[in-house]
Amino acid sequence: MNAYTGQIVNFFAALLLLIAFAMLAQRRIISLINLFALQGLALVGSTLTVALATAQTHLMYSAAITLVLKVAVLPYILHRLIRRLNVKWDIETLINIPTMMLIGIGLVIFAFNLALPISQFSASIARGTLGIALACVLLSFLMMITRSKAVPQVIGFLAMENGLFFAATSATYGMPMVVELGIALDVLVGMVILGVFMFQIREQFDSLDIHHLEKLKED
Amino acid sequence: MDALPPLLLLFVCPLAGSLALALLGAGNRAPELNVAFSLATFAASVWLTVDIISGGSVVVFDDQFFVDPLNVFLVALTAFVGLTTSLFSRPYMRIERERGRMTAGRLRLYHSMYQAFMCTMLLALTTNNMGILWVAMEAATLATVLLVSVYRTAASLEAAWKYFILCGVGIAQALFGTILLYFAAERVLGAEGNALLWTHLNLVKGHLEPAIMSLAFVFLLVGYGTKVGLVPLHNWLPDAHAEGPTPISAVLSGLLLNVALYCVIRMKVLTDGALGTHFAGNMMMGFGLLSVVVAAFFLSRQKDIKRMFAYSSIEHMGLMTFAFGMGGPIANFAGLLHMTVHSLIKSAIFFAVGHAAQKAGTQVMEDIRGLMKQSPTVGWGLLLGTIAILGMPPFGVFASEFLILTTAMREHAWATPFLLLALGVAFAAVFGRVQSMVFGDSSVKPLAHQPALVPVFVHLGLGLMLGLYIPPYLARWYEQAAKLIG
C-alpha cells in the first residue's frame, strides 16, 4: 500500500467512466462489444490493485472471475451471437449524440452528489470512486433506454452489472464470495437465455429491432 | 438441527424435478411427474412447518438458512399453490398441446423451468443471506422469462423481453441496494461472509449507519418493487401475465409477487431499526397507495381477461404494501392474511380463466359469453372467485381489507377515501365484465379434456374459511409473524 494505490484506482475508475460514455455514443455493435470487454479489463485492473494493496485474497478471486467472465466468456458469446445472427456490421442510427452526452454529464453530477454523503463512511481505499460507480450504472441505464436494437440493450444491461460490481469494490472490499459467485452464475445463465431469446425474436420478426416489440400498449 | 432434513428436501425435490423433467422430456407422464415432485415439495414444506410451529424459529447450516413464522408461512403457501397449479396445468397443457400451441420440446422446457422456478422461490424465502436472496430473485426471473415466451407469438416475445429488461433493470437497483446494505453492515459486523446474514443484521440494526441504510432501502424498494409490480414500475406485469401460459400467470401472481414483497418487508425491518423513524413505512405507503389507485383505474380499460386480472393483482399488491407500510400488529396481521387469501383466490381465478379462455378460444372478454350455460363449474368458479377477490363477504379478502381500511381510518385517515374510491372503481369494472362473461347465451365450446377444477374450489373453499374462521394456530402464527415485522 503506498501513495500510488489510490491514484491507480482513481485512474481505472476514470477509465471506466470514460468507456461508459464511449459506449453511450458508439453506433457499431462490434465496437460496442469490444468496449464492453475493455470495461471489464479496467474493472479487473482496479479490483486487482485494491486486492494487492490490501492483501485481500477473495478480491483476487473475484478479479479472476471478472477476467474470465467479463473479458473472455461474455464478449466471446456476444461475438458468436452477432456472427450467427448476422448483425456483425450493423450500425445503429442514434439521434442526438450531443444531447445524450449532456444528459450523461447531468447523471454523473447527480451520482456524485448522491454518493458524496455516504462515501465518507467507507473504510475502503477506493471510497472516492463510489460516485463513479453509480454514474456508470446510470449511464448504462441511459444507454439501455435509448437503444432500439436488442444486442446493444443487452450490452447496456451487462455494463450496468459492471458498474454495480465496481460499486461493490469501492464501497466495501467486494461482496462475500458466495454472493459474488451467485451473481456471476446469474449473469452467465441470463446471457445464455438472452442468446436463445434473440434467436426467437429474430425467427418471429426477421429483425432484432426492438421497435417490433412495441405492440402491447394500453389503448 | 431438527429443521435440516425438511429444509434440504424442500430444495432437493424441485431441483431433482427440474433435472429429471429436463432429461426425461415431455413423455406422456411428464405432467404427472411434475405433480409428483410438487407434491413431494409440499410434503417437505408441511414437515418444516410442523417443526417450526412446535419448535420456533431456527437457523441451520452455519446460519445460512433461517426459518421463522414469517417465512415458513410463505413457504407453505408457495409449496401449496405450486402443487395445485401443477394439478391444474396437467389438463390445461394437454389441451394446449392439442391446439398446437405447445410442442414436446416446449413442454419439456415448461415442466423443467416450472420446478426450477419453485426451487428459486423457496431458496429466496428461506435464505438468511441478503445477497443470496438477490441471487435467488434474479434466478426466479430467469426461470420464468422463457416460460412467458413459450408460445413464441409476437406478443409473447414482446412480453418476455419487457419482463426480462424491466425486471433486470429493477433487480440491478436491488443489487445496488444490497451492496449499500453490505457497506453499512461491514462497518458493524466486519468484512466477513456473515455481514449479510439477516439474523445477524437484525441483532445490530440499531447501529447501522442511518444515511446508508435509507439510501439502501430506497434502492431495494425500487428494485424488488419492480417485481412486486408497484406503480410506476409495473409495466411488465400485465403483459407477462396475459401472454404467458395461464399456469405461469397463476404462479407469478400468486407466488412471485409475494416473495418479492417479502424481500421488501425483510429490508424494512432492518431500515426501521437503523433509522428509528417511519421513513421506510411512509415510502411503502406511498407506493402502495399509488398502485391501488392507478391499477383500479386501469382495470376498467382492459379488454383481455388475463390482463384485467393482472391489474387486479397490482391493486392487491399495492394494498398489501400499504398495509405493511402502516405497520403495527393489526395492519401487519391484515397484510399477511391478505397475502394468503390473495394468493389462493387469484390463482383460483387464473385456473378458471385459463379454462374459460380455452373454451372460448380467445382471451378477449367481449367474445367470452355464457360460461354458466356451457359448463357451470368453470362459470361458478370464475364468478365466485371474482366475488371473493373484489372483497365481498364472507370471503377472506373482505376480512383483510376491512382490517386494513379500519386501521387506515384510525392512523392515516387521509388515505381512506383513496382506498375506498379505488376499491369501488375496481368492483364496478371487474364485476360488470365478469357478469356478462358468465351469464347469457353461450358462445363457448366444450373442452377436449376434463378441466381441473378441483384446485379452483379447494382454493375458494380455503379463502371462504379464512373469511369466516381463522384456526387458532394459524391466527397465532400470523400474530407472531406480524410481531416480527414490527
Distance from CA of B484 to the nearest CA of A (A): 26
State residue B122's pLDDT score: 94
Q: Residue B105 corresponds to which cell in the numbers above? A: 420440446
Using the beta-carbon criterion (under 8 Å), do A216 and B239 form an inter-chain contact?
yes
Average pLDDT over residues B284-310: 93
State residue B56's pLDDT score: 79
Would you say residue A123 has pLDDT above 70? no
Average pLDDT over residues B312-333: 94
Would you say residue A219 has pLDDT above 70? no
Q: DSSP letter string over B240-268?
A: HHHHS-HHHHHHIIIIIHHHHHHHHHHHH
Q: Which residues of A fall within a CB distance of 8 Å from B164?
A: 193-194, 197
pLDDT tens for residues A12-25?
999 999 999 999 88
State residue A186's pLDDT score: 87
Would you say residue A55 has pLDDT above 70? yes
A70-79, A123-132, B141-150: least confident range: A123-132
Would you say residue A126 has pLDDT above 70? no
Q: DSSP letter string over chain A?
A: --HHHHHHHHHHHHHHHHHHHHHHH--BHHHHHHHHHHHHHHHHHHHHHHHHHHT-HHHHHHHHHHIIIIIIIHHHHHHHHHHHHT-TT-B-----HHHHHHHHHHHHHHHHHHHHHHHTT--STTGGGHHHHHHHHHHHHHHHHH--BHHHHHHHHHHHHHHHHHHHHHHSS---HHHHHHHHHHHHHHHHHHHHHHHHHHHHHSS-BGGGG------
For residue B155, give the DSSP letter.
H
Q: Residue B273 corresponds to which cell in the numbers above? A: 431499526
Q: Give residues with Cβ within 8 angstroms of B279, minimum separation 6.
A: B214, B217, B271
For residue B197, give the DSSP letter.
B
Cα B401 to Cα A37, B398, B418, B420: the distances in Å are 52, 5, 14, 10
Using the beta-carbon criterion (under 8 Å), do A213 and B138 form an inter-chain contact?
no
Would you say residue B378 has pLDDT above 80? yes
Distance from CA of A58 to the nearest CA of B (A): 11
Would you say residue B2 has pLDDT above 90? no
Q: Residue B334 corresponds to which cell in the numbers above? A: 391484515
State residue A6's pLDDT score: 81
Average pLDDT over residues B355-377: 87
On whether the CB atoms of residues B196 and B178 are closer than 8 A, the answer is: yes
Q: Which residues of B fall within a CB distance of 8 Å from A203?
A: 152
pLDDT tens for residues B13-67?
999 999 998 888 767 788 899 999 999 999 999 999 888 888 878 888 788 898 8
Using the beta-carbon criterion (under 8 Å), do A175 and B182 form an inter-chain contact?
yes
Using the beta-carbon criterion (under 8 Å), do A218 and B298 form an inter-chain contact?
yes
CA distance B408 to B426: 19
CA dihedral B303, B304, B309, B315 (to 10 degrees): -50
**CB nearest A161 (choices: B161, B162, B172):** B172
pLDDT tens for residues B180-215?
898 888 888 876 667 888 988 888 888 888 888 999
State residue A56's pLDDT score: 80
Amino acid letter for position A110: F
SS3 call for B191? coil
State residue B313's pLDDT score: 95
On whether the CB atoms of residues B396 and B471 are closer than 8 A, the answer is: no
Nearest CA in chain A to B214: A118
CA distance A58 to A172: 12
Distance from CA of A118 to the nearest CA of B (A): 6
Using the beta-carbon criterion (under 8 Å), do B161 and A210 form an inter-chain contact?
yes
State residue A217's pLDDT score: 61
High-pLDDT (> 90) share of chain B, %: 53
State residue A124's pLDDT score: 67
Q: Which residues of A fall within a CB distance of 8 Å from B176?
A: 134, 137, 164, 167
In the predicted model, what is the mean pLDDT of chain B? 90
Question: What is the CB neighbour count within 10 angstroms for residue B365?
Answer: 21
Element (H, E) at B59: strand B58-60
Q: Which residues numbered 49-78 in B keep a CB inside 8 Å of some CB on A? A: none
Would you say residue B1 has pLDDT above 60? no
pLDDT tens for residues B466-486?
989 888 888 888 888 888 887
Give the mutation candidate from B157, B241, B365 for the A interface (greatest A CB count, under 10 A).
B157
Q: Is A122 on the interface with B (CB under 8 A)?
A: yes
Q: How many Cα atoms within 13 Å fall on the side-chain side of residue A11? A: 10
State residue B195's pLDDT score: 83
Q: Is A111 on the interface with B (CB under 8 A)?
A: no
Backbone φ, ψ for residue A89 (5° rounding): -100, 15
| Residue B133 pLDDT grade (very low, low, confident, very high; cuts 50, 70, 90) | very high
Question: What is the CB neighbour count within 10 angstroms for residue A200?
Answer: 17
Would you say residue B230 has pLDDT above 70? yes
Would you say residue B169 has pLDDT above 80? yes
Distance from CA of A3 to the nearest CA of B (A): 24
Q: Which residues of B fall within a CB distance of 8 Å from A117?
A: 211
Q: Give residues with Cβ within 8 angstroms of A148, minimum separation 6.
A: A92, A209, A210, A211
Per DSSP, chain B holds a count of helices (H) and strands (E) of: 20, 2
| Residue A127 pLDDT grade (very low, low, confident, very high; cuts 50, 70, 90) | low
**CB nearest B169 (choices: A122, A144, A197):** A144
On whether the CB atoms of residues B313 and B320 are closer than 8 A, the answer is: no
SS3 call for B364? strand
Average pLDDT over residues B227-233: 90
State residue B300's pLDDT score: 86
| Residue B118 pLDDT grade (very low, low, confident, very high; cuts 50, 70, 90) | very high
Q: Is B274 on the interface with A (CB under 8 A)?
A: no
CA distance A57 to A51: 7
Q: Residue B167 corresponds to which cell in the numbers above? A: 425486471
CA distance A78 to A157: 13
State residue A94's pLDDT score: 67
Q: DSSP letter string over B306-348?
A: HHHHHHHHHHHHHHHHHHHHH-SHHHHHHHHHHHHHHHHHHHH
Average pLDDT over residues B118-132: 93
Backbone φ, ψ for residue B65 (5° rounding): -120, 150
For residue B152, give the DSSP letter.
-
pLDDT tens for residues A167-214?
888 777 778 888 888 888 888 888 888 888 888 888 887 777 777 776
CA distance A75 to A52: 26
Distance from CA of B132 to the nearest CA of A (A): 6
Average pLDDT over residues A70-96: 82
State residue A1's pLDDT score: 53
